[in-house]
A and B are shown apart, each in its own frame.
Chain A
Amino acid sequence: MPFSTVLDHAAPASSVAFEHVWRPRSRWQRVWLAVAPLLRKPGFVLALAIVVFALLAALAPGWLAHADPYATAPLAKLASPGAAHWFGTDELGRDLYTRVVYGARLSVTAALLAVGIALVGGLGLGIVAGFAGGRLDTVLMRVIDVMLALPGLLLALAIVTAIGFGTVPVAIAVGVGIVPGFARTTRAEVLRIKTLPYVEAARLGGASWTRTLVRHVLPNAWGPVAVLATLDFGAAILATAGLSFLGFGAAPPAAEWGTLIANGRVFLMTAPWVSLLPGLFLVAVVFSVNHIARTLEENPR
């Protein structure tokens, strides 16, 4: 008689009773169980609300602002924030709040495009480098080193010098700048997971490399990569705003956030809100994105 029955650890096995009861729990149920506790944190909910607002502004600005962002009203120029104009007006009398909301379309879309480029390029490079190893890995790492040696903004400057100004070139420039950091993190994760026992167990169980990649490596690498993608989204917003601030974004009267801030520079002494309030909105959005990223990081599923 095995001595283990003296200790109350192993539960008895009974098959018949469970025959009809057990089915595998669905994946969606598990996702919901993981996400629900997050919604109880007030900070997280607020950050989520702000980001949703920004996304909504990008997709359907008309719902959130009712004035015309291009309508000039010289009589109401440089009005300070008040009931009629929540953010005040700029030097041509245009309602700043409306311009900020409409500006989201360009700025947020540019950032999304940039992160998209970074995801495709960075993930691809990172996975290939991490998985393939050996010579290919070394070569790709050198390429990434070279890209890292060109500082983000300067690389972006070079690209817009070459292909011209505007929202899309700015997005491409920023996206290319984010690729090396992304590739590095992805590669590190792939390398880490590749050596874990359960990957070896899967291989020994007959799994092909494809299956290992798709079923084991990617789902487990996704965590840190997703956090980085979120953080980079915030960084991309800042970078695209920076480039448009310098004058390389969409031409006026387009209302990119960076351009708005740049326009208001001249009036800083007399009407500071023209620059500062759009900037404040920008800070709120990026901070919320960062907060979401950090919350996801601290609560691994």
Chain B
Amino acid sequence: MSTALPLLEVQDLHVTYRAGGQATAAVRGVSFSLARGETLAIVGESGSGKSTLANALLGLLPGAARIDSGRVRLEGDDVTRASERQWQNLRGRSVGLVPQDPMVGLNPTVQVGRQIGEALIQAQGRRYPGVDADVLELLEQVGIDQPPLRARQYPHELSGGMRQRVLIAIALAGNPRLIIADEPTSALDVTVQRKILDHLQRLVAERGISLLIITHDLAVAADRADRLLVMKAGQLVEQGPPAQLLAQPRHAYTRALLAAAPAFGQRTPPPFRAAADSAPLLALEGVGKAFQLSGQERFQALRDVSLEVYAGQTLAIVGESGSGKSTTLRIALGLEQPSAGRVFFAGRDVTGLGWRQFRPLRQRVQLVQQNPFAALDPRMSIFESVVEPLVSFGLMKGRALEQEARQLMERVQLPVSYLDRLPRELSGGQRQRVAIARALALKPELLLLDEPVSALDVSVQAQILDLLAQLQQELGLAYLLVSHDLAVVASVAHQVVVLRQGEVVEQGAAAQVFGAPQSAYTQELLAAMPGRGRLSGTVRFFVCGPLTACRQAGRAVTR
């Protein structure tokens, strides 16, 4: 952009972790520069080194990590070997940080206003009389209502979005030249994310601050940044403006990321085979659920929800936090009783069945849980975990059990030798496969999936979604999938139900809901999806109908 000195210059940086005699290179020879006022996004999966790079730029590398070689220049000054004292001066005043998770990024025992005030005082060097007024002004600038009230509140009294705004205020307090935003989109709802990121970019543009976004989400990066940097295993793989990267990715890894990212990729839901009999496998009719809170209050989690899942079909429930989607799943599983309405499984009314009575049905309905890291008993080997349902029902023993275990592992494409291992020796994606294998052990007809890929890296997400699609083809499984991620839903669902605060806002075939959304909320959700609507005026998505091939409507246009 301008020909002035770049704000940040990184030359051939190498950062290594040393622990217990072992050295792991986290950043290997990364070079890039950031001009004033520019927004740069660093995209990478876990283990790519992007977090280490961000820490290095703040002087917050943990003790075990060290900059081996290379140079970091901030506003012309070499800060590679800066002392802690020097870094204290730089942090807050030259470089600011917007941390990742607003739910835990603020001290829970100190009022919000005081935390912002602390940042202001630190930047100024000492306490000054106008601090309180400045705090209120900052709160207003970041878009928080009723600043005097909010300043006296504690973090837990604010919503996630407001907490994120407070963190932005803290970062802006010192009027830095560079702000590093670490995974600014992970912990919040899509619509909230969008508003906050818009706001952040506006503030940053007004003050001429450079923004460095660290993210695993290619779509967000493409939306927001002037330039993208793709990192893999500590190395910089490719860089360039988003339009160029998306249209003509040069490196194989970038291509793979594009292909895997649900927003850009080309996964289509497998064609839906209409079953011979048209009775739904699972049906919810007018289901409502109210929770009794202590005292007189009742919280209505669900209101009049009806849906039907057919064999071989995927129905996805989409909603933000608090929409009631998890409650719906639990009711379908019989873990919760609905306060109103009925639940039918294979034509049989299962509402209000006791645990004992429900138990035989469990062989036909299974659950894959959200968090693969807690879904497996850490003390049981993979073999024991996978065959446990068979043992609980007493279906098999001995050799037959081992045989079945082997077959299940093959089905989820894991090596049989993994049966010996413990969960902690497996990666997140592998654990999720094990969870799927366990769910398949009883040969169910319906699989319920609670955010099955949200805790995984993008490329691993792609693998799991592929696996699920394959299993559906091979076994004729029906899926009831719950997710907040529209891109994931768009790539796997035949039918979609959009929930908002316990009510069905829209439902129907995926093509229809995504192609021609009726309700304003659905439209808002779609518009907020990163990766669409910003690069061009036309909306990009894939239209798939039952039994028809998927076609692409609209295409990215360079800005």
14 sampled A-B residue pairs with Cβ under 8 A: A3-B462, A7-B260, A7-B462, A10-B413, A13-B410, A13-B415, A13-B416, A22-B416, A24-B419, A198-B375, A201-B438, A204-B333, A204-B366, A220-B377
Contact A4 B459 (CB under 8 A): yes
Q: B442 at the A/B interface (Cβ < 8 Å)?
A: yes
Within the complex, the shortest CB–CB distance from B244 to chain A, in Å, comes to 21
Residues of chain B contacted by A201 (CB below 8 angstroms): 367, 369, 375, 435, 438
Contact A207 B259 (CB under 8 A): no
Within the complex, the shortest CB–CB distance from A51 to chain B, in Å, comes to 26
Q: B420 at the A/B interface (Cβ < 8 Å)?
A: yes
Within 8 A of A (CB), among B348-385: 359, 362-363, 366-367, 369-371, 374-381, 383-385
CB-nearest residue of chain A to B441: A205
Residues of chain B contacted by A25 (CB below 8 angstroms): 381, 420
Within 8 A of A (CB), among B20-53: none
Contact A2 B466 (CB under 8 A): yes
0 or 1 for each of B394-423: is its CB under 8 Å from A? (1 = yes): 000000001000100110011111011010
Within the complex, the shortest CB–CB distance from A96 to chain B, in Å, comes to 45
Of the candidates B363, B413, B442, the one whose C-beta lies within 8 Å of that of A13 is: B413
CB-nearest residue of chain B to A205: B389
| Complex Cα gap A211–B370 (Å) | 24
| Complex Cα gap A30–B384 (Å) | 14
| Complex Cα gap A216–B252 (Å) | 44
Most buried by B among A9, A14, A205: A205
| Complex Cα gap A208–B462 (Å) | 35
**Given known A201-B367, A202-B388, A206-B393, contact A4–B376 (CB-CB < 8 A):** no
0 or 1 for each of A164-175: is its CB under 8 Å from B? (1 = yes): 000000000000
The 7 lowest CB-CB distance pairs between A and B, nearest first, are A205-B389, A206-B392, A4-B463, A2-B466, A18-B416, A3-B259, A207-B392
**Given known A3-B265, A9-B429, contact A208–B392 (CB-CB < 8 A):** yes
**Given known A18-B406, A22-B417, A201-B375, contact A3–B256 (CB-CB < 8 A):** yes
Within the complex, the shortest CB–CB distance from A134 to chain B, in Å, comes to 15
CB-nearest residue of chain A to B377: A198
Q: B509 at the A/B interface (Cβ < 8 Å)?
A: no
Within the complex, the shortest CB–CB distance from A251 to chain B, in Å, comes to 48
0 or 1 for each of A9-22: is its CB under 8 Å from B? (1 = yes): 11111110011011
Contact A197 B260 (CB under 8 A): no
Of the candidates B359, B435, B459, the one whose C-beta lies within 8 Å of that of A9 is: B459
**Given known A25-B381, A201-B367, A205-B389, contact A15–B265 (CB-CB < 8 A):** no
- Tally of chain B residues near chain A (CB < 8 A): 55
| Complex Cα gap A207–B460 (Å) | 30
Q: A219 at the A/B interface (Cβ < 8 Å)?
A: yes
| Complex Cα gap A253–B106 (Å) | 64
Residues of chain A contacted by B389 (CB below 8 angstroms): 205-206
Q: Tell me the A residues contacting B by CB distance below 8 Å.
A: 2-4, 6-7, 9-15, 18-19, 21-22, 24-25, 30, 196-198, 200-202, 204-208, 211, 215-216, 219-220
Of the candidates A6, A202, A211, A215, the one whose C-beta lies within 8 Å of that of B256 is: A6
CB-nearest residue of chain B to A208: B392
Contact A197 B371 (CB under 8 A): yes
0 or 1 for each of B259-281: is its CB under 8 Å from A? (1 = yes): 11000010100000000000000
Most buried by A among B259, B383, B388, B470: B388
Residues of chain B contacted by A11 (CB below 8 angstroms): 414-415
Residues of chain B contacted by A211 (CB below 8 angstroms): 392
Residues of chain B contacted by A198 (CB below 8 angstroms): 374-377, 385
Q: B66 at the A/B interface (Cβ < 8 Å)?
A: no
Q: B540 at the A/B interface (Cβ < 8 Å)?
A: no
Contact A197 B375 (CB under 8 A): yes
Residues of chain A contacted by B259 (CB below 8 angstroms): 3, 6
Residues of chain A contacted by B265 (CB below 8 angstroms): 3
Q: B255 at the A/B interface (Cβ < 8 Å)?
A: yes
CB-nearest residue of chain B to A21: B417
CB-nearest residue of chain A to B257: A7
Residues of chain A contacted by B379 (CB below 8 angstroms): 219-220
| Complex Cα gap A196–B466 (Å) | 28
0 or 1 for each of B328-355: is its CB under 8 Å from A? (1 = yes): 0000010100000000000000000000
Residues of chain A contacted by B409 (CB below 8 angstroms): 13
Residues of chain A contacted by B393 (CB below 8 angstroms): 206
Most buried by A among B392, B419, B441: B392
Residues of chain B contacted by A7 (CB below 8 angstroms): 256, 260, 459, 462-463
Residues of chain A contacted by B376 (CB below 8 angstroms): 198
Given A15-B410, A197-B374, A198-B376, output 14 extra A-B contacts at Cβ < 8 Å.
A2-B466, A4-B459, A4-B463, A6-B252, A7-B459, A7-B463, A9-B459, A14-B416, A21-B417, A22-B419, A22-B420, A198-B377, A204-B366, A204-B367
CB-nearest residue of chain B to A11: B415
Residues of chain A contacted by B252 (CB below 8 angstroms): 6
Of the candidates A14, A24, A215, the one whose C-beta lies within 8 Å of that of B381 is: A24
| Complex Cα gap A25–B379 (Å) | 13
| Complex Cα gap A5–B23 (Å) | 30
Contact A15 B375 (CB under 8 A): no
| Complex Cα gap A201–B388 (Å) | 10
Contact B255 A6 (CB under 8 A): yes
Contact A4 B410 (CB under 8 A): no
Residues of chain A contacted by B371 (CB below 8 angstroms): 197
0 or 1 for each of B446-464: is its CB under 8 Å from A? (1 = yes): 0000000000000110110
